[in-house]
Amino acid sequence: MKILTLGWRLLLTLCIVMAMCLPAWGRTIKIGVIGPMNFVQGKSHWNGAVMAAEEINAKGGVQVGNEKMKIELVKADSNEFLNVTDATNAMERLMTQDKVDFVVGGFRTEAVLPMQDIAMDYKKIFIGCGAATKSLCDRVAENYNRYKYWFRGTPFNDNYLVRTSFSHLGAGAAVIKNELKVPVKCAIVAEKAAWTEGMVKVAEATIPKMGFELVGVWRPSAVATDVTAELSAIQKSGANLIFTLFSSSVGITFARQAGELKIPALQAGINVEAQKEGFWEATKGMGNYVYTSSTYIRGVEYSELTKPFVEGYFKRFGEVPTYTADTHTAIAEALVPSIEAVGSLDADKIVAYLENREYLVPSGKVKYEKDAQGRPTHDLTWGPGYLTGLAGQWQDGKFVGVWPYKWVAAPGAPEVTYKGMVPLKIPPWMKK
């Protein structure tokens, strides 16, 4: 009986404490972070958002009119790599159970499209931080009243991604031409995956137009553990530039074996594994001179916001942020200043304000595009002065920024070199 009394007393005390604490917490701004949380992309979504929320809350929160509100994050595992249905359920849950005010995240386009529809049904601002497909923003132009709550946060759209990759390729080819005085012979090596299908077709059409000889296309498995057959064939073809499209472990295999065999060609393009800190160890140093697109590289600064973000992220999570960590940007740079400016959480007011903003972010400057007819698309503007992305190269154990380095996007355009960039190098064994 005594124990029971004690239990009841404890319960009563707990209730009083909670009741006292509630007003202190006040109202919060609930932001849903949706992504494949068991995968690196989702983890980065979450890390970026956590960092943004911690920074903002540490400063006292967000000034919404006369009220100061803290940010409360709601984590939603979309499981979208394995199950698209799961992703839509997670979004519906964010909308109706968690009743979030805003959503950031999403990765796989096939999942983001229906997730976008659900967010639009509830008129909630959804800033996409992963899917590159242009059609997500085309919907805004085609049906503005319904889809205006969608904004692209990162990356820039697939058309621009392809253009950037060819700019990287062009920069590599220029170094080969200047240093070796030979014509450029290019091989395409793309892992067997859906995302590379379209890019291979575009590359096959574009590379000859760039004035390079296309010597062939090789398609190893995304998880191949041996690519010596492909490398031998590439060497025999006389290629001195290899356009790589790798997102899986084959990126390590290919770089390691190419280094071991001293294949006389520069690897340029996309190699997701090479963007990671562990790449040097994984290739036992054989991945030297691998050159890949990237979003953030330590020591490279797009703007004054880059260093605090990259170093802060590295300090907090022990790794360089990937592009899906731009949930930080979506919250800290896109949403919060817009909420403070309009003094309200009203989605329509925020949309009207945000779509006309131009603002600095750690990866450059954001300006939302309009289509040829002048309709807002809420897509990101690409190019000098705005967002360009980066390319890095492994040079003697360090991943350094090499593109844009004295890059001229079009005749007459200003030359672009970000702070901390170094010149691109070709492997020394190409010079023999």
Partner 1 sequence: MVAAGLYLKRFYTVVRKEVLVLPSRIIVALFFIVLLGMPLISRNPYLIRVIVLTSIFAILAASWDLLSGFTGQMNFGHALFFGVGAYTSALLNIHLHLPPWGSVPLGAAAAVLTGLIVGIPCLRLKHTYLALTTMAFPIILMGIVFALPDVTGGELGISGLQRISNSLIGNYYIYIVIMLVLCTIMWKITDSHTGIIFHAIREDELAVKASGINTTRYKLLAFCLSGFFAGISGGLYAHYMRIAGPSTLEVSMSFSVVIWAVFGGMATIYGPVAAVFILFPLLEFVRFWPEYRTMIFAVVVLLILLYMPEGLIPWVRDKIEKGCPRCKIRNVATRKTCRVCTAGLD
SS3 186: strand
Q: Which of 28, 64, 114, 381 binds partner 1 (CB under 8 A)?
A: 114
Smallest distance from partner 1 to CB 116, Å: 9
Q: Which of 41, 44, 47, 79 binds partner 1 (CB under 8 A)?
A: 79
| 404 and 388 Cβ atoms separated by less than 8 Å | yes
Q: Which of 95, 231, 239, 310 binds partner 1 (CB under 8 A)?
A: 95
Q: Which C-beta is closer to partner 1: that of 96 or that of 225?
A: 96
Give whole-number Cα distances, 98 to 51, 350, 424, in Å: 21, 21, 49
Contact string (CB under 8 A) for partner 1, positions 39-78, x = contact: ------------------------------------x-x-
Smallest distance from partner 1 to CB 198, Å: 7
Q: Is the dihedral of CA 188, 194, 199, 202 positive or negative?
A: positive
Give whole-number Cα distances, 88 to 124, 145, 149, 159, 263, in Å: 15, 22, 17, 26, 46
Q: Which of 85, 225, 356, 417 binds partner 1 (CB under 8 A)?
A: 85
Q: What is the DSSP letter of 15?
A: H
Q: Is 83 in the site for partner 1 (CB under 8 A)?
A: yes
| 194 and 223 Cβ atoms separated by less than 8 Å | no
Q: Which of 33, 74, 84, 391 binds partner 1 (CB under 8 A)?
A: 84
3-state secondary structure 226-255: CCHHHHHHHHHHCCCEEEEEECCCHHHHHH
Smallest distance from partner 1 to CB 194, Å: 4
* Contacts within 8 Å (CB) and 24+ apart, 331-334: 331/31, 331/48, 331/49, 331/52, 331/53, 331/56, 331/71, 331/104, 332/52, 332/55, 332/56, 333/305, 333/359, 333/360, 333/361, 333/362, 333/366, 334/127, 334/151, 334/153, 334/359, 334/361, 334/366
Identify the burial level of 29 via C-beta atoms within 10 angstroms of its C-beta, where 0-12 means exposed, 13-18 middle and 19 or more buried. Answer: buried
Q: Which C-beta is closer to partner 1: that of 90 or that of 391?
A: 90
Q: Which C-beta is closer to partner 1: that of 39 or that of 212?
A: 39
Q: Which of 54, 55, 72, 117 binds partner 1 (CB under 8 A)?
A: 117
Q: Which of 6, 11, 14, 97 binds partner 1 (CB under 8 A)?
A: 97
Q: Is 371 in the site for partner 1 (CB under 8 A)?
A: no
Given the rule CB under 8 A, which of 5-13, 66-74, 108-116, 281-289 is the region that contacts partner 1?
Answer: 108-116
CA distance 189 to 242: 7
Asked if the bond preceding 155 is cis, omega within 30° of 0, the reply is yes
Q: Is 92 in the site for partner 1 (CB under 8 A)?
A: yes
Q: Which of residues 178-237 bind partner 1 (CB under 8 A)?
A: 194-195, 197-198
State CA 212 to chain mean position distance: 29
Q: Is 113 in the site for partner 1 (CB under 8 A)?
A: yes
Amino acid in position 92: E
Q: Which of 34, 37, 171, 426 binds partner 1 (CB under 8 A)?
A: 37
CA distance 133 to 109: 7
Smallest distance from partner 1 to CB 43, Å: 11
Q: Which C-beta is closer to partner 1: that of 146 or that of 349?
A: 146
**Number of residues located near partner 1, criterion CB under 8 A:** 31
Q: Is the dihedral of CA 392, 365, 65, 119 positive or negative?
A: negative
> Residue 415's beta-bridge partner residues?
408
Q: Which of 139, 148, 168, 378 binds partner 1 (CB under 8 A)?
A: 139
Q: Which of 88, 164, 283, 322 binds partner 1 (CB under 8 A)?
A: 88
Categorise residue 224: left if φ over 0, alpha if ψ from -120 to 50, beta otherwise.
Answer: beta
Given the rule CB under 8 A, which of 79-87, 211-219, 385-393, 400-408 is the region that contacts partner 1?
Answer: 79-87
Smallest distance from partner 1 to CB 210, Å: 24
Give whole-number Cα distances, 416 to 92, 111, 184, 231, 421, in Å: 43, 36, 24, 34, 10
Q: Which of 55, 86, 355, 371 binds partner 1 (CB under 8 A)?
A: 86
Q: Is 146 in the site for partner 1 (CB under 8 A)?
A: no
- Give the pairing type, strands 358-361 and 364-370: antiparallel
Q: Which C-beta is closer to partner 1: that of 113 or that of 161?
A: 113
Q: Which of 133, 235, 249, 395 binds partner 1 (CB under 8 A)?
A: 133
Where do contacts with partner 1 occur on this chain (CB under 8 A)?
Answer: 37-38, 75, 77, 79, 82-86, 88-90, 92-93, 95-97, 109-111, 113-114, 117, 133, 135, 139, 194-195, 197-198
